[in-house]
Amino acid sequence: MLLELKTPQIMPEMKEARIETVYARAGQALKVGDRILDVSIDLGSAFQQNCPPISYYRLVAREKGWLRELNAAPGDLRAAGDVLARVSTEPDEPVDAPADRPLRLATAGILGHPMMWSAKPRP
């Protein structure tokens, strides 16, 4: 069975999420409780603000599977609903078919941390 990880609609006002940290790798066997990604959501991203409304979330697997494709890198800005990863329940299952359902995820609000893309100095 094929499962999809899409950019979650964590709050109704969000349009997109920034990929902050990627923990999982393509080809990896996912276990229940494995970290997959950290994302940030900036509700004021349409224009620069002196105190932007940003919050951070971690996406954690709630079911096991094989992470077959991962299309997310730190710094990527992805629209809500974009497919970030495809997971199969069998290791050698073809992944070119439509997904059967979303991957079951836990979504947790987290603190910003130094490993995040936005915490690193950029020109």
Partner 1 sequence: MRLLGAQPFAHERALQVAFAPRIGGTLRINAAESGGGFLTLLGVTDWNPGDVIAHIEPSEAGPVDGTAGTDAARLLLLAGRRMSWAVDVDDGLLPGWHIRARAWWGDTNDERPTLLSVGFCDATGVIRGETAGFVEMFEAATFPAQVVHVSEHPATPCAPFLLEQFLRTPADHAAIAADLTQALSSTATTSDDLIFGGALLAQLTHSPMRDTYDLLTSTGLRRQKHADAILLSLGAEARSILRHRTLGYSLQILAHDLRAAGPAMRAWLASSFEPAPRSFDDIRRDYTRLMDTVGAATGARFLILNRMSTSGREDIASYAAFDAPLGDTLANVAAKEMNLMLHELADERDLFIVDVDAAAADLGGAAHVPDGVHQSAAMQARLRTSVLEVLARL
Stretch in the footprint of partner 1 (CB under 8 A) among 45-53, 66-74, 79-87, 91-99:
45-53
Using CB under 8 A as the binding rule, whether residue 105 contacts partner 1 is answered as yes
Least distance between partner 1 and beta carbon 101 (Å)? 16
**Residues in 59-88 at the binding interface with partner 1, rule: CB under 8 A:** 60, 62
Stretch in the footprint of partner 1 (CB under 8 A) among 17-25, 52-60, 72-80, 94-102:
52-60
Q: Which two tokens stand for residue 112?
A: 């910003």
- Long-range contacts of range 33-39, CB-CB < 8 Å, 24 or more positions apart? 33/60, 33/61, 34/60, 34/61, 35/59, 35/60, 36/5, 36/60, 36/61, 36/67, 36/85, 36/105, 37/72, 37/84, 38/110, 38/113, 38/116, 39/7
Using CB under 8 A as the binding rule, whether residue 6 contacts partner 1 is answered as no
Using CB under 8 A as the binding rule, whether residue 29 contacts partner 1 is answered as no
Stretch in the footprint of partner 1 (CB under 8 A) among 20-28, 67-75, 90-98, 109-117:
109-117
Binding footprint of partner 1 on the chain (CB under 8 A): 10-11, 13, 32-35, 41, 43, 49-58, 60, 62, 105-113, 118-119, 121
